[in-house]
Amino acid sequence: MRIVLRQETDIEVIGVSSNGIEAIELCKQFQPHVVLMDIHMPEMDGIEATRYIKQHWPKMRVVMLTTFHDMNYVREAMASGADGYLLKAMQPEDLASSIRLVHNGGTLIPQEIAKLMVAEWTSSLSSPSKKKKDKNEKSPRYGMTERQLDVLRLLVSGKDNREIARALYLSEGTVKNYISTIYSKMEVTDRIHAILKAQDEELL
């Protein structure tokens, strides 16, 4: 990865660590804009290191390096504040563009991981063993209107802004405004955390 990134004129590799503790020390020393964090490391794993980094330097962007076999850790990584995820099997040319996206404020979720997460959630909803809430117990709705809930429902189903706009006969700009309001009301900062919160609290 270091060799690949050294070919990019707008990206500088300022440190490489072998475990989470070293990663934190390098963050203290160099204050990098973006950290590529492996989940599995000795001394301190990537999830714990990410949690520490985001608590002490909230503006520092962290991208987790993961595999399909790490899906059990993805939720933990999200809860720790990670800003993006990269599959280790990615193409080298995708690495720099992914770092730029996260550095510019975007949230990076590979389509393969997003599909797996939606599939897992759909499976859990259809499972007969899933406990149903008491009819008198209502999920928090965060003061959202029915229209905002419609947008959230489509967002959770994996639709992008254009597809949501088409389904609800809205402009993409209006959809973006709805999504921004939804994030604010749910107290989340991006699409994937909104989806997770809606799922965990059975908002829909």
Architecture of domain 131-200: Orthogonal Bundle (1.10)
Residue 46: CB atoms within 10 Å: 27
Condensed to tens digits (0 to 9), the pLDDT of residues 39-55 reads: 888 888 888 899 899 99
Give yes or no for residue 184 having a pLDDT over 80: yes
Confidence of residue 35 (pLDDT cuts 50, 70, 90): very high
Condensed to tens digits (0 to 9), the pLDDT of residues 137-171 reads: 445 678 888 888 889 989 888 888 889 988 888 88
> Can you give the pLDDT at residue 26?
96
Query: Do residues 96 and 4 touch, judged by C-beta distance below 8 A?
Result: yes
Query: Do residues 60 and 53 touch, judged by C-beta distance below 8 A?
Result: yes
Handedness of CA 82, 4, 88, 159 (dihedral sign): positive
Q: Please give the mean pLDDT across all residues of the chain.
A: 82
CA angle 71, 1, 83 (to 5 degrees): 45
Domains in the chain: boundaries? 2-115, 131-200
Quick one: what percent of the chain has pLDDT higher than 90? 23
Instruction: Give the bridge partners for 61, in sequence order.
Output: 34
Handedness of CA 182, 185, 191, 193 (dihedral sign): negative
Condensed to tens digits (0 to 9), the pLDDT of residues 64-115 reads: 887 755 566 777 777 778 888 888 777 777 888 889 989 998 888 767 667 7
- Top-tier CATH class for 2-115: alpha beta
